[in-house]
Copies of this chain bind each other. A is one copy, B any other.
Amino acid sequence: MNNQKDPDIMQKVEVWRKPFIVGVMGGHEASPEILEDARRIGEAIAKRGHVLLTGGGDGVMKAASEGAFKAGGLVLAVLPSDRVRPLAGYPNDFVDIAIQTGMADARNVINAKTPHVMIAINGGWGTMSEIAHALRNDTPVIALKTPSIDLPHKGRLIASTSVEDTLAQLDRLLSKPL
């Protein structure tokens, strides 16, 4: 564990009190284009002063975390594992604060309930479960390049096809009372 406060790696981070939490969910594996989308979205979240929440693993989770971390943002992760039963790759190198659940897939529910807005990027069945739990819990979801699902969503499932559109939708959602 490298949690010691080594002056060489200390960096100052400014966070708003009671910030918005924006979740970025997606798969362990993704194409270079998807990973670059995730990195840019993580970076943009940090630059807006929001906290980034991911599942703490590889792929889209890591790319978004790297983008936010390197932009000076605060990066949270809700891990499926815990310290006694670690999983390889959890948390990735760009997580500031890791919530240790040991609950495997049940942590997806927390990922879906905690953010003020969730951005789903591509992804497989794990991401699909997070979209479904979010919509059951009234968390708005911006879905970038995910499969469409034909179920009622009260306007809370917003399909997006680009990073720019995703961020415009995010700003719109956070500009009004949630």
State the A residues within 8 Å of B (CB).
Answer: 1-5, 9-21, 49, 51, 74, 76, 78, 82-85, 95-106, 108-110, 113-114, 116, 124-126, 128-129, 132-133, 135-139, 147-153, 177-178
Contacts and interface: CB of A to CB of B under 8 A. Distances in A.
Nearest to A87: B85
B105 A104 contact: no
Given A114-B100, A149-B128, A17 B9 contact: yes
Top 9 A-B pairs ranked by shortest CB distance? A129-B132, A102-B104, A100-B113, A128-B132, A147-B150, A125-B135, A125-B136, A103-B103, A82-B113
Contact of A97 (B10, B21, B129): B21
A51 B49 CA distance: 18
Given A103-B102, A149-B147, A149-B149, A97 B132 contact: no
B114 A98 contact: yes
B105 A78 contact: no
A84 B138 contact: yes
Given A99-B114, A102-B105, 6 more contacts: A3-B116, A5-B20, A105-B133, A125-B153, A126-B132, A129-B136
5 contacts: A19-B96, A51-B97, A83-B137, A101-B110, A105-B109
A116 B100 CA distance: 11
Contacts of A82: 104, 113, 137
Contacts of A97: 18-19, 21, 51, 76
A152 B3 CA distance: 28
Contacts of A149: 128, 147, 149
